[in-house]
Every structure is written in structure tokens, then in C-alpha cells.
């Protein structure tokens, strides 16, 4: 389950054109199950209205530090105490300066001083303002205090110029919130390597041999592990998915490249999870130029050689190894063979044709020492959550044995 579910989030919205993105951010947070309390500064209210946030969050928007107190509500004090995380998005140069120096002349400033929870700041301003020494000094002061600075990105700014200063997109801010909320999870301090997506074996400069793997399962596993506090290295073949915030991403193409990346990454790791659809074969030779039909004739013959079996070749008694088996027939029998042959602690078996490229999966978890778990057909994100829970159990067991 995402750590955002049931989280209490205070969202500070200040006076920048990027404030319109904060409406989307609030909506995404609520849809993810969070309770969102919005603090809207006077300048922020010049760009977006309180009514939009109140309709989305079903909570009153906080505007003034002088709002009435009740026996059960003490304004900025209550806001600061209830928050699991405070996010300021957008954060203008003015707001950053005020927060850096501890000013408390509005609801946002007093709330930040009244809380001990993580503070995330998403700067948004013009390029010159962001790079001004005063702004950089203020950002350094905040970072030294433990504040998380997220963004900004480069791109087209409100002035029409190109440069640094675009507020990070809501989906990326969501990812950072998710990472921060999950940091104290059961996998805190654990290093886990995950492979994802399919590999591509080059024939010539523009052609390759691959498979239909989308990477959805692997990326979902990475997100579930980050949600539980793990330090994750994602070694991924080509995929058109946004990598989860918090993961170190190593892009590769071929099986040989993936093997080298895995061997480098598993040094000191606690677990290896091979969700990638690794090509079993690769062309014996690659052509340095584009093949032409006029040169090859009506038939083209290419010899293939076997690729390395990555997970079987990784050794280490302390390393938990989990594999995936995508089969078109004799699913459980073939998965059990792989479980034993590759010396795995667990294997996830699923039907290749109905799973590859699909957002859902009907998986079976198999182990060397207990009965298999046959799951219902469900979204891959839910399969990933269950798998991450099993990783917690396997690592705890391994630690107990050592």
C-alpha cells in the first residue's frame, strides 16, 4: 500500500503562476488517499482560488494566522503537529527567503516553525531569480537544515524564456512525498537490485531482436520497495515508463550489458529481483551498417548464440535471489525447474501471453520450502506490494539464519 494513503499532508501554495499545478497535485494526493490541508498565501490567492482547493480536499483552506482557534483546533500549531509532511509548491523566491530566515508573518511561516515533520520545497521562479546568489544562499541554508529541495526543472518559463525555474511536475512531487513517507519502512537500510523491461539484441544499427515486455511489473516492484524504505538500484532495458523517484536508474539494452550492470550492483546488496524479460539469444555477429534487401536477397539468415543466465550466475549465500518465470505452457512445472536450477529463494510464475505488456497479472509465488501462493488476477502494483512483503519476510529469515 502506498505510504501516501492515510497520510496527513500540508500543502503550502504561494504566489507563482505554477500555482495552477498545485490544484492538480492536491487532487492527485486526495485520490491516493491522503488528507490534504492547504495553506494559501495572499499572493497565491492571486493565481488560484480557495474554492478549488476546498472542493478537491473537502477541507477548509487556511489563509490567515489570525484564523479563530477552538478548543480542539489551534491554527498553525495544530497544522504543524498533525502533518506527516509539509510541501511548499510552488515556492517563490520570496517564500524561500522567508523560510530560510525563520520569518513567521503568515500562516505558512508559522506552520513550518511549528512542525517537526519533513519539509519539501519545490522552487518555481524565473531563471535569473533562481540563480541569484541570494536565492542560492537561502536554498543552501534550508538544505543544511534538512529541508528537501525538489526541482526546479529546466524549460519554458512564464516570461517565455527558457531556463531553470519550472516547478517540478505533480507526479514527480508525488513520488518524492511517497519516498519520504516510506523512509522508515521495514526495508530501511536494505539495498536491493531490480531488473526490469526487456532486453534488445542488435542486428544492425537500426534493427534489433526483443520482446513485448513493457517493464510495468519491474517498475511497480521498485516503487513498492521504495515505499518500504529500501535503497533500490533499477537496471532497466528500454521502457516508456517514468522511473520511481528514489531509485538509482541504470539503463541498458542487451543481456550482456544487463549482466555486467547486475554484477556491479549486487556487490553489498541484500537482494536481487530479476523481473526483466532477458533475451535468451543474441545474434552471433552485428552488422556495422543497415542491411539492404538488395544485398541480402529474398532470405536473410542470422545465427544466434545463447545469452548468459544472469540470475543463475550470481552467487552469494547472503543474497536473496528472486526470479520471474513467464511461460506459455506447463507454467508451474517449468517455474519449479527454474526455481531449483537457478538456486532461487522465490520465483514468480505467470502466463507470458496474458501478462507481458498488460497492466494486470495472475501470478503464483513459488518457494523451495513451502507451498505455492496462487494469487487472484490483479493489477501489477498489487502483485508488487505482495512481493515486497515477501522480500521483507525473506530478508528477516535470512538475517535470523546468519
CA atoms of 102 and 113, how far apart (whole Å):
7
Q: How far is CA 398 from CA 111, 133, 151, 314, 394, in A?
A: 44, 51, 39, 17, 6
Residue 143: how many CB atoms within 10 A of its CB? 13
| Three-state DSSP string of 5-67 | CCCEEEEEECCCCCHHHHHHHHHHHHHCCCEEEEEECCCHHHCCCHHHHHHHHCCCCECCCCC
- Largest Cα span, the chain: 86
CA atoms of 397 and 168, how far apart (whole Å):
40
Please, what is the Cα angle at 333 between 331 and 335, to 5 degrees? 65
Active site residue 350: no
Instruction: Please answer whether residues 226 and 217 qualify as being in contact, where contact means their C-beta atoms are separated by less than 8 angstroms.
Output: no
CA atoms of 109 and 307, how far apart (whole Å):
58
Backbone region of residue 130 per phi and psi (left: phi > 0; alpha: psi in -120 to 50; beta: other values): alpha
Query: Between helices 93-100 and 133-144, what is the axis angle to 10°?
Result: 50
CA atoms of 200 and 208, how far apart (whole Å):
6
CA 42, 174, 143, 162 torsion: positive or negative? negative
CB neighbour list of residue 285: distance below 8 Å, 6 or more residues apart: 303
Catalytic residue (choose from 6, 211, 307, 350)? 211
Cβ-based burial of 376 (10 A; exposed 0-12, middle 13-18, buried ≥19) = exposed
- Annotated catalytic sites, by residue? 211
Amino acid at each position: 500500500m502506498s505510504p501516501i494513503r492515510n497520510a496527513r499532508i500540508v500543502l503550502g501554495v504561494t504566489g507563482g503562476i505554477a500555482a495552477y499545478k498545485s490544484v492538480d497535485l492536491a487532487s492527485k494526493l486526495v485520490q491516493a488517499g491522503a488528507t490534504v490541508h492547504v495553506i494559501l498565501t495572499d499572493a497565491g490567492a492571486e493565481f488560484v482560488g480557495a474554492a478549488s482547493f476546498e472542493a478537491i480536499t473537502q477541507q477548509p483552506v487556511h489563509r490567515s494566522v489570525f484564523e479563530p482557534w477552538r478548543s480542539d483546533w489551534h491554527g498553525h500549531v495544530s497544522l504543524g503537529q498533525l502533518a506527516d509532511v509539509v510541501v511548499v509548491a510552488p515556492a517563490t523566491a520570496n517564500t524561500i527567503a522567508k523560510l530560510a530566515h525563520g520569518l513567521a508573518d503568515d500562516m505558512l511561516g508559522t506552520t513550518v516553525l511549528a512542525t517537526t515533520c519533513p519539509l519539501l520545497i519545490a522552487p518555481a521562479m524565473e531563471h535569473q531569480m533562481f540563480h541569484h546568489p541570494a536565492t542560492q544562499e537561502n536554498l543552501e541554508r534550508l538544505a543544511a537544515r534538512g529541508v528537501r529541495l525538489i526541482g526546479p526543472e529546466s524549460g519554458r518559463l512564464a516570461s517565455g524564456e527558457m531556463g531553470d525555474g519550472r516547478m517540478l511536475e505533480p507526479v514527480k512531487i508525488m513520488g518524492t512525498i511517497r519516498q519520504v513517507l516510506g523512509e522508515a519502512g521495514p526495508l530501511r537500510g536494505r539495498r536491493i537490485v531490480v531488473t526490469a523491461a526487456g532486453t534488445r539484441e542488435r542486428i544492425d544499427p537500426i534493427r534489433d531482436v526483443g520482446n513485448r515486455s513493457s517493464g510495468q511489473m519491474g517498475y511497480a516492484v521498485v516503487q513498492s520497495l521504495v515505499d518500504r524504505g529500501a535503497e533500490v538500484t533499477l537496471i532497466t532495458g528500454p521502457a516508456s515508463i517514468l522511473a520511481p523517484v528514489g531509485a538509482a536508474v541504470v539503463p541498458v539494452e542487451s543481456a550482456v550489458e544487463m549482466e555486467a550492470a547486475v554484477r556491479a550492483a549486487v556487490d553489498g546488496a541484500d537482494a536481487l529481483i530479476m523481473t526483466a524479460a532477458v533475451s535468451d539469444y543474441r545474434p552471433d555477429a552485428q552488422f556495422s551498417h543497415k542491411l539492404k534487401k538488395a544485398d541480402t536477397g529474398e532470405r536473410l539468415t542470422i545465427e544466434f548464440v545463447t545469452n548468459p543466465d544472469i540470475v543463475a550466475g550470481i552467487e552469494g549465500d547472503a543474497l536473496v535471489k528472486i526470479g520471474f518465470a513467464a511461460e506459455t505452457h506447463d507454467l508451474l512445472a517449468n517455474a519449479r525447474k527454474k526455481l531449483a536450477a537457478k538456486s532461487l529463494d522465490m520465483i514468480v510464475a505467470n502466463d507470458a501471453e496474458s501478462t507481458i505488456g498488460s497492466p494486470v497479472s495472475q501470478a503464483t509465488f513459488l518457494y523451495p520450502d513451502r507451498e505455492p501462493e496462487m494469487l487472484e488476477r490483479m493489477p501489477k502494483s498489487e502483485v508488487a506490494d505482495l512481493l515486497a512483503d515477501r522480500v521483507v519476510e525473506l530478508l528477516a529469515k535470512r538475517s535470523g539464519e546468519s
